[in-house]
Amino acid sequence: MIKPTKTVIITGANSGLGYECAKRIARTSPDYHIVIAGRSAERIERAAQSLAGETGVNRFTPVQLNLASLDSVRKFAEQWPQLGLPPLHGLICNAGVQYSGHIEQSEDGYEATFAVNYLGHFLLTNSLVEYMARNARIIVLSSITHDDQAKTPLPKPVLKSAEALANPFPQAGESIAEFAGRAYSTSKLCILMFAYELERRLSASGREDIAVNAFDPGGMLTGMTREWKPAARWMMKALWPLLRLAPNASTPRNSAKVLAEMAVSERYRGISGKFYSMIGSYRQGAREKQTSAVSYDKRQAQELWEGSERLIEARK
């Protein structure tokens, strides 16, 4: 039996895309140990046991991580050296939430979509960089909804200061559903801009060996729909056999194959600062694509970064 020499962390790996990605890495890359990071201790433990049973290997470690709590993110990073795992070669920022009928706040009092999808991953990544081995890889999960020129079911993103995004108010005449949809699309723009800015900062600091890329897995039927209203969840499940044929749709298994390859395969070695999408191509794999104009704006990315640091500092 090959002893693992590398570790990859997958946030939100207890279900859906993250779970399928962990399974794929375990089956194809015996040199990797996989950390199942998630909010519920019971769920991540159950997922680790289930993955071990499905793959026939015991290379999974569940570690509790609540991205809606900055203290939880700090605790995760602080305990990392004590876990005794192989060197950290990969971080997949996969966890995410999407609300539809209500406004949710994080434990720190910030809008929860922004806090979980972006700010928690911002802190987690920056806290773990010092532990990353040479040629490590960071992958963030974004979405076509980040692009204000794309036609999607969600409201277009509106980029504001980090402080404004953490403490937003619905626009005049905007419904709660529209507000929640905009919060999601904007969070996906923020995480994408973070990836690009992180890649630039790593290069400037002498850690250009760490690759940073973004991935759009396409529309999928995953656990994220648990935050939707019951009627919306029922309709999605009922219509999914037809919806999955649409060009923007994929499946957790198909998208996980690409995500796992981005994290561990030689095919993506040395590639950084790119965006790959399953949109329109999931049957053939992912395609590298250009992102929205604002996502490449270095000035706004720097302002978002600095504002995010202030938000984190304010909750110490």
Terminus-to-terminus CA distance in the chain, angstroms? 44
Close Cβ partners of 3 (under 8 Å, ≥ 6 residues apart): none
The number of beta carbons lying within 10 Å of the beta carbon of residue 107 is 14
Taking a C-beta distance cutoff of 8 angstroms, is the pair 143, 215 a contact? no
Residue whose token pair is 């991935």: 215
Q: Among this protein's residues, is 282 annotated catalytic? A: no
Q: What is the C-alpha separation between 233 and 229, in angstroms, rounded?
A: 6
Under a CB-based contact definition with an 8 Å cutoff, are residues 68 and 106 in contact?
yes
Q: Residue 75 carries which side chain, given as an amino acid letter?
A: K
Catalytic residue among 32, 99, 110, 184: 184
What is the C-alpha separation between 281 and 246, in angstroms, rounded? 10
Neighbours of 301 (CB within 10 A): 23
Residue 155 neighbours by CB distance under 10 Å:
21
| Catalytic positions, written as ranges | 184
